[in-house]
Structure 1
Amino acid sequence: MIKEDKKIILFDGVCNLCNSAINFIIKRDKKDIFRYASLQSEIGKKLILERNIDTSSLDSILLIEPKVAYYHKSTAALHIAKQLSGLYPLLSVFLILPKFFRDWIYNIIAKNRYKWFGKKESCMIPTPKLKALFIDQ
């Protein structure tokens, strides 16, 4: 079930880098802002369809804000960083850089993520303690 006030992060559930990023975010989401679902899940597919997101070249993290549009690639990552504890909100200063430049760097990493970080056979299964944070379980 999706709570109206939560921001949803959709991620590649079989990507080791993406799973590590989600674990990183969970540890630093001290204000309980985010919920998570894999792009491959039924709820992930439904959210993508509802927002008319082009999935032909979807190789990025998506941040869906309640009653607002969605963000993807570097913009999503920087908006997520803005909400984390510690010094990570300072990374949002990179939003002043042109999107094409930020996404160029993001795309290099996204294109090589399986080669550099590996890939799982199936989506991660959260521990019972974390299960409530995942909306696709």
Structure 2
Amino acid sequence: MVRKSRIGFDRNYFALPHPFWMIVLGTSLPFIVVSAFCPYRVPPSLGVVKTASIYVYENFPHITWFLALGTIGAHTFESLSAIKLCWDADMTTAATIKWTLSTFLFGYPSLVLRLRSYLDKAKRSQF
């Protein structure tokens, strides 16, 4: 069964978020997970940050676990939303995979600032 494209745009469109978001989120997400489950692996070069993450882990371990699991859950939900948006827009499988991975890693900046704004612009230009 062949579906018709509902909006006129490039079905292979993909764009990464702004490099600022890639650096901030690309380093903070792994840091949250490492801090929650094995804070002793935080690099010693981070100094006070390592000390603080060990302190929070030793004194409030449930907070770090909930933070890490909540973050992973939120990014998973955003990735599923990206799949739905790509499916509704009839994007190619390759573009859908790229958007899903980008949204899982970078979250809001990838999903809303790039994908949704592009789809909204494509819908407006159609009329």
> TM exceeds 0.5?
no
- Which has a greater percent of strand? 1
**TM-score, scaled to structure 2:** 0.31
- Which has a greater percent of helix? 2
Largest Rg, 1 or 2: 2
